[in-house]
Chains A and B, each alone.
Chain A
């Protein structure tokens, strides 16, 4: 049964990485197979599902889905384009900043879905190629999302799996390194892309003349929607004091949002991406199967043997290993498998440095390849639908150096401040 569990999981990872079949179908098929052949029983499968992660994701999907019609995200993206006054380096830094901050407080996939379409329009108005700007945004979304518990799916999974790690803990321990990394990487990308982002002064003047707030003025429920969004983010900061899990905060925020800003509950709930939630559900069951059959324990033991029990070595192996694994197969399934490994590795003595290593590795590793993070697939997908495209190798040529630089910064940070 142990071999069967490993085979099913590895095949599922391979199929997800190759994108031959939709990843949700793969995860659900793998989970079903594990239950049907008896790798784990029905009760074990239900117990393996992390309902808090699903609740947090669903809640944030509703909140963001109902905030989007206010036009506030379009306003922000257009405003930064105006503020850049057509200067390429300023444009890159401002778009990276907006994307990074939105990723940290919404989540990186949502940030990309909100920012990339308006970026295509801005690039069109400025008569420049959108590809460098979208690449900067994808990179910024993965780095910005690293900063908080809700910013990137790996962090959501880690935060809900380890309740000892609060929203504030994530910010205190990850935001500084995320900010430094974002600045360094954005500076590199701005220098690399600056010649492709030259804007004619008359185009910059035309963009500056646009009325960025017009959509917001015409939208309904702007004030109350933004109040609920800000209130929910504030509640995340205070969730430990309030004795509320992040999932409860998100679902409560979503409920309040439905009460105050949704004319039609049915269409509001259509904003929930069910395929994503079922993808997570399938992954949790598959990882539950690996745990049930002792595979996770074996991997943790081997890792402990390799590192000789040194926490520093363990943290660095987790950091670089998580980045490599995420680059190869997508950081969500990789993190789902690694969480019980790290849990087992630390034993009874809780060590948050190992968790920060996993978060940094998985999130920063998400920049390495086109398939490493959901935000990358979504961003390049929007580009492709608009008639532009980025090949796997072209993405790798930008993503790999970005990831290496990020990992070196993360290594230095862990050695200096966490280990």
Chain B
């Protein structure tokens, strides 16, 4: 039986001492919706694209539903970006559940549906970080396998 170790896990992580700016650069380069924040080999949290969005733009946006009339204020946005860029990412990460490497794909799919995350960290039996699993990687692998089965 295939487990999560067989899926294309992405090595997207930064140390908790990295700056927020460095973490966002890693996230952008890795092209996954979230990366793991590590203290040594131990996961202390994740930073998702939505977390980045909340940090870069004003906090009250999440409370608003109507902003079509708003125009960008580049000076204010730059000021906010400068204030957040050099903060340690550990301060901005949040804890989430992790998937075990030997979990089934169906279990992973159920967790994605209910955790509201686009990517979750996968760990081995000793809690060491194996990589980030995204929803698209999980589904893409499933579709690929189905196609391979059909051909064979």
Contact = CB atoms under 8 A, between A and B. Distances in A.
B69 A124 contact: no
A387 B68 contact: no
A74 B66 contact: yes
Contacts of A104: none
B76 to A, nearest CB: 7
Interface in A218-238: 218
B59 A385 contact: yes
Contacts of B66: 71, 74, 118, 215
A interface, how many residues as a size bin? 20 to 34
Contacts, number: 54
Interface residues of B, number: 15
A215 B60 contact: no
B125 interface: no
B1 interface: no
B62 interface: yes
B76 A124 contact: yes
Contacts of A385: 59-60, 62-63
Contacts of A218: 68
Contacts of A78: 69
Interface in A103-119: 116-118
B132 to A, nearest CB: 27
Contact of A117 (B60, B69, B73, B76): B60
B87 to A, nearest CB: 13
A68 B67 CA distance: 13
A210 B71 contact: yes
B58 interface: yes
B70 A387 contact: no
Contacts of B73: 124-125
A121 B70 contact: yes
B114 interface: no
A210 B69 contact: yes
B146 interface: no
A211 B60 contact: no
Given A210-B70, A210-B71, A121 B60 contact: yes
Nearest to B54: A385
Interface in A191-225: 206, 210-215, 218
14 contacts: A68-B65, A69-B65, A71-B65, A117-B60, A121-B58, A121-B70, A211-B69, A214-B68, A214-B69, A215-B67, A218-B68, A382-B60, A385-B59, A386-B63
Given A117-B63, A214-B69, A387-B59, 13 more contacts: A74-B64, A74-B65, A74-B66, A116-B63, A120-B63, A124-B58, A125-B73, A127-B76, A213-B69, A215-B66, A385-B60, A385-B62, A386-B58
Interface of B: 58-60, 62-71, 73, 76
